[in-house]
Structure 1
């Protein structure tokens, strides 16, 4: 299957920020951001139960409730069940820490079994106020959440979620499924499986200007050879490439800020924006099917779309490579 034929465009909208990531976002601001994306032609929206314990799904569903369902593509994730009860204890989110501390306080249960997968999809449909999702990602089966036990969780997903989603795809309930993670290793492991076979991967934060060398070594060429599309999430590396202070869901280190400063200096010299460099770099790899930056303010949507169209001179990419700011083998955009 050609995964790219499912996607309406090469840029979508990642809704993790709508789950009150890093800060509490007013309801009207969240709704206005989704509607700005719609009004400016964005037709692919990605979400997950984890984002604010269902908050992002609820907000996205409310904002798109009156839009023609056949006119947009929707993806969500499985692996987490959101319970009605409130969780009074701090949640363990691995490297994501207290990322959604401003989200809903509901209990989150990690579960990759087949039954939990089907339940998760049904509950997402209710929060999203829709009768179907197009793409389902198996969420966060990786070292950043489960440490040395991640392979045990991966096996639970392989025999549970993977097979359940394969059946849903075969039955025409969903169009595609894959894995959504912040690590390369689970995706490489999946490519080695004879079955079940995913259609695509959502790789967040691991194919950016600041972090891409591991993905280049095997994942990107192997995925392309296998016909498995890659959606690049987090192209701004948690915001630090877009003027923020976060990298890897935490305060950026002085070393990262210095590297971003060098990229910004080069961008300034060539009269371009860092956002343009970040988005166009991610899309230049032939394995990349789409990129999904997130946003919490309506104005950010216009910035992203402008960055995608902004002319970037070949000399910028050459200088970036010459200064060792991108891997020598990384595909670069044509000028």
Structure 2
């Protein structure tokens, strides 16, 4: 099933920040942000056990428990099982180390086997307080893995999670499944297989104004040929395109800060916001079905909706291309 057949619009809500990403967020602030998303018409919510070791799912579930289940689309992920036991001290998340240091202290099992997949879904349903998920993403295959270990973990997912999720889709338990990653390679490999065939993929941080060339080279043509949809995660590149200081989960390096400065100067010259340019660029590719920016402050939701609907002049996109701030083959919004 194409994701576009049941997604309720092109803007969703990514809940990674609700897991206390980068900072400890008061429960009241997190609740107000989710309420703001609902009140302003957002009906697609994406979450994961990894986000604060279940904290984001718990916070999202507190709102969804009050809403009719058929009134929204919900996705979560498998690949990390949240255990009841707690850990002390630092936890090793590779390049995502420290990202959720203020989240729950539960230990997490990193595994993509069939058993772990079913356990992960069961845990998500419990934390969210719902009876079903609409989309399930296989989370972070290849994260921090290289060489033979990467292939071993991928094969674990292919023979475990992929097959479980294909069965659940065929049985009507879920509507769709795919990969939720910030690497293009596992999606490319999956699209090259005859089966199991994913319905779509969530690509985080790899189709943005700051990072899109690699995806354009191989992945997106493959997805377009296979009629597989993309959900754009992290359209603001971890926040640096929205006034923040993070890029790729870390402090933005000088060269990224300089590039953002050039982008911001161009948007100001055309009288538009940089968030509008970033969001509309990410959604301009024919494969992009929706984007799911995250937020922890209620006011950010209105900003995202305004960015999606902003009137960006064709002259801006022309100047963006002329300044070599986007790849020459990157699709631009219609009319540009």
Which interval holds the TM-score relative to the shorter structure?
Answer: over 0.9
Match in the other structure for 1:7: 7
Q: Distance in 2 between matches of 1:131 and 1:59?
A: 16
Q: Is the CA contact (8 Å cut-off) linking 1:49 and 1:77 kept in structure 2?
A: yes
How many corresponding residue pairs?
334
Q: Does 1:24 align with 2:24?
A: yes
Q: Is the CA contact (8 Å cut-off) linking 1:281 and 1:333 kept in structure 2?
A: yes
The SS at the match of 1:10 is coil
- 1:95 is displaced (CA, Å) by 1.1
The SS at the match of 2:104 is coil
Q: Distance in 2 between matches of 1:29 and 1:64?
A: 16
Q: Distance in 1 between matches of 2:42 and 2:150?
A: 35
**Structure 1 residues 165-216: Cα deviation after superposition (integer angstroms, max 9, x where no partner):** 0000011100000000001111101111111000000000000000000000
Structure 1 runs (4+) greater than 6 angstroms displaced? none
The SS at the match of 2:102 is coil
Q: Distance in 1 between matches of 2:135 and 2:98?
A: 27
Q: Does 1:216 align with 2:216?
A: yes
Q: Which runs of 5+ in 1 are unaligned?
A: none
Q: Distance in 1 between matches of 2:206 and 2:318?
A: 22
Match in the other structure for 1:120: 120
Match in the other structure for 2:63: 63
**Structure 1 residues 230-282: Cα deviation after superposition (integer angstroms, max 9, x where no partner):** 00000000000000000000000011000000000000000000000000000
**Structure 1 residues 145-178: Cα deviation after superposition (integer angstroms, max 9, x where no partner):** 2233222111000000000000000111000000
The SS at the match of 1:146 is coil
Q: Is the CA contact (8 Å cut-off) linking 2:79 and 2:120 kept in structure 1?
A: yes
Match in the other structure for 1:135: 135
Q: Distance in 2 between matches of 1:191 and 1:242?
A: 32
Q: Is the CA contact (8 Å cut-off) linking 1:168 and 1:174 kept in structure 2?
A: yes
- 1:222 is displaced (CA, Å) by 1.1
Q: Distance in 1 between matches of 2:21 and 2:286?
A: 30
TM-score when normalising by structure 1: 0.99
- 1:334 is displaced (CA, Å) by 2.0
TM-score when normalising by structure 2: 0.98
How do 1:76-155 and structure 2 match up within 5 A? 76-142=76-142, 144-148=143-147, 149-155=149-155
The SS at the match of 1:178 is strand
Deviation larger for 324-333 or 215-224: 215-224
- 1:227 is displaced (CA, Å) by 1.3
Match in the other structure for 2:276: 276
Match in the other structure for 2:162: 162
Q: Which runs of 5+ in 2 are unaligned?
A: none
How do 1:163-312 and structure 2 match up within 5 A? 163-312=163-312
The SS at the match of 2:85 is strand
Q: Distance in 1 between matches of 2:69 and 2:23?
A: 30
Q: Is the CA contact (8 Å cut-off) linking 1:94 and 1:146 kept in structure 2?
A: no
Q: Is the CA contact (8 Å cut-off) linking 2:180 and 2:203 kept in structure 1?
A: yes
CA RMSD after TM alignment:
0.8
Q: Does 1:316 align with 2:311?
A: no
Q: Distance in 2 between matches of 1:212 and 1:101?
A: 29
